[in-house]
Structure 1
Amino acid sequence: MKYENWILLILVIILLVAPLVIYSGLGEDQGYFGGADDQGSDAVSETGYQPWFSSLWEPPSGEIESLLFAVQAAIGAIIIGYAFGYWRGQASNKKDN
């Protein structure tokens, strides 16, 4: 049992360190961590697409945009957590009765 825990710990450390060692010193300029958003916007701009309308409000900075996204995610997580908790409470009430 002791050896199993040590083996699992070593595997976790390898999984955490391996990506850092493999891509050490290679950043976005090499294209390793480029996202699908960049590729999609590049593909759309090559076609000459013109949007039909513009946004009603543009956040003043990227930080504000990230904050709003995080707030949306938190609100969604709260709603989902409440629903699961409610359903679990209802199930335990039925079991007790």
Structure 2
Amino acid sequence: MKNVVLLLFVILLAIIPLIIQKDAEFGGADGQAEEVIGEVAPAYKPWFNAIWEPPSGEIESLLFSLQAALGASVIGYVIGYGKARKKYSSTKQ
């Protein structure tokens, strides 16, 4: 029961800002940093260009989500492996 309440709370935390700020634009830190650099040093030239640009923002979001899911999977596996190793190593002794 406690897990269901916590899950609903997390879902509400994710949905409420979208309801309150209907026309809000949720941008990333990269875009904000680019704007500030443009204001502070208008003659700034990047050191290098991107090797590949995703064809659309949706593809970029998909790749970012896949990267986050892969990272979370690796972290979850390492934590689970460590807990299982600790659990089964203490029962053998």
Q: TM-score range by the shorter chain?
A: 0.5 to 0.7
Q: CA RMSD in A?
A: 2.9
- Which residue in 1 is equivalent to 2:24? 28
Q: How does 1:80-95 map to 2 (within 5 A)?
A: 80-95=75-90
- Which residue in 2 is equivalent to 1:51? 46
Residue 41, structure 1, aligned to residue 42, structure 2: no
Amino acid paired to 2:77: Y
Indicate the percent of aligned positions where both proteins have the same amino acid.
49
Supply the distance in 2 between the matched residues of 1:63 and 1:20 (Cα, whole angstroms). 18
Aligned length: 79
Structure 1 runs not aligned, ≥5 long: 1-11
Deviates more, 1:86-95 or 1:38-47: 38-47
Amino acid paired to 1:28: A
| Change over 3 Å in CA distance of 1:79–1:64 after alignment to 2 | same
| Change over 3 Å in CA distance of 1:63–1:35 after alignment to 2 | closer
Q: How does 1:45-84 map to 2 (within 5 A)?
A: 45-46=38-39, 47-48=41-42, 49-84=44-79
TM-score, normalisation: structure 2: 0.65
Supply the distance in 2 between the matched residues of 1:94 and 1:42 (Cα, whole angstroms). 54
Equivalent position SS for 1:28: coil
